[in-house]
Amino acid sequence: MNKKFKKLVPYVLLTPALVYYLLFWIRPVLRAFVESVTDLEGKLSFSNYINVFQDSYFKQAFSNSIIFAVFSVILSFVLAFLVALLLNRKFRGANLLLFIALVPMAFPPTAVAILWKTGFTTFGWINNILVQLNLISEPILWLTAKGNEALFFLIFIDTWTVMPSVMIILLAGLQNLNKEYEEAAVILGASKFQVIKDIIMPILRPTIVTAVILRMIGALQVWMIAVMMFGYGRVPFLVERIAYYTDIVPMLENSYKMSLTYSVVVTIIVLVSVTAYLRANRTKQGGVV
Partner 1 sequence: MAYLELCKLTKRYQKDITAVDQLDLQINKGEFLVLLGPSGCGKTTIMRMIAGLEEVTDGDILLEGKSIKELSPKDRGVSMIFQSYAVWPHMTVYDNVAYALKLRKMSKADIKERVMKAAKLSSIVEYLERYPSQLSGGQRQRVAVARAMAIEPILFLMDEPLSNLDAKLRVAMRTDLKEVHQKLGSTTIFVTHDQSEALSLADRIVVMNMGVMEQIGTPNDIYHDCETMFVANFIGSPPTNFIDVNITKETDGLYATNEMFKFKVSESLHQGIVNYVDKKVVLGVRPENFCIKEHDERKEHNEGSFKLTIDNLEPQGSHTVIISHLLGKQIKLVSSEHFNLNIKDEIDISIGDKYFFFDKDTERRIR
Partner 2 sequence: MNNKILSKTVFYLVVTTIVLAILIPIFFFVSSSFYSGYEMYRFPKPMFPETKFEFKIDWDTEYNMYNLMIYEQSEDAYELLISSAKPKDFRRYLKRELSIVKEDEEIEADFAPAKDGPIYLTYKKNMFYNYVTFFSITNKAEKAIVNSLMAAGWTILISLTIGSMAGYAMARYKFKGKERLSVSLLLVRMFPIVAVSIPMLVYLIKMGLNNTMIGLAVVYSVSNIALTAWITNSIFLGISVELEEASIVFGANKIQTFFKITLPLAVPGLIASSMYAFLTAWNDAITALILSGDNPTLSLVVYKALGSSGAMQLAAAGAVILFLPALIFTFIIKNYINQMWGDVKF
197 contact, one of partner 2, partner 1, none, CB 5-8 Å limit per kind? none
178 binding partner 2? (CB under 8 A): no
Q: Please state the closest distance from residue 204 (CB atom) to partner 1, in A.
A: 10
Among 213, 86, 70, which Cα is nearest to 155's? 70
User: Which of 10, 42, 189, 286 is close enough to bind partner 2 by CB under 8 A?
Assistant: 10
Interface with partner 1 (CB under 8 A): 178, 180-181, 183-191, 194, 198-199, 202-203, 205, 283-289
127 binding partner 2? (CB under 8 A): yes
286 contact, one of partner 2, partner 1, none, CB 5-8 Å limit per kind? partner 1
Contact region with partner 2 (CB under 8 A), list: 52-60, 66-74, 167-175, 195-203: 167-175
CA distance 110 to 72: 18
181 binding partner 2? (CB under 8 A): no
198 contact, one of partner 2, partner 1, none, CB 5-8 Å limit per kind? partner 1
User: Which of 246, 249, 272, 276 is close enough to bind partner 2 by CB under 8 A?
Assistant: 246
Distances (CA, A) of 160 to 76, 77, 95, 106, 247: 8, 12, 20, 12, 27
Total chain residues near partner 2 (CB under 8 A):
91
CA distance 93 to 165: 20
270 binding partner 2? (CB under 8 A): yes
Q: Please state the closest distance from residue 90 (CB atom) to partner 1, in A.
A: 10
37 binding partner 2? (CB under 8 A): no
- How many other C-beta atoms can be found within 10 angstroms of the C-beta atom of residue 113? 20
User: Which of 151, 199, 235, 242 is close enough to bind partner 2 by CB under 8 A?
Assistant: 242
Three-state DSSP state, 38: strand
* Helix axes 255-280 and 47-54, enclosed angle (nearest 10): 80
287 contact, one of partner 2, partner 1, none, CB 5-8 Å limit per kind? partner 1
User: Which of 125, 156, 179, 249 is close enough to bind partner 2 by CB under 8 A?
Assistant: 125
Under 8 Å between Cβ of 79 and 163: yes
Three-state DSSP state, 44: strand
- H helices of the chain, in order, are 2-21, 27-36, 47-54, 58-87, 94-106, 109-120, 125-132, 147-176, 179-187, 192-194, 201-203, 205-220, 224-230, 238-243, 255-280
Residue 272 CA, distance from chain mean position? 15
104 contact, one of partner 1, partner 2, none, CB 5-8 Å limit per kind? partner 2
Q: Please state the closest distance from residue 189 (CB atom) to partner 1, in A.
A: 4
Q: Please state the closest distance from residue 107 (CB atom) to partner 2, in A.
A: 6
User: Which of 61, 150, 162, 169 is close enough to bind partner 2 by CB under 8 A?
Assistant: 169
Residue 244 CA, distance from chain mean position? 20
What's the angle, vertex CA 161, arms to CA 158 and CA 163, rounded to 5?
Answer: 95
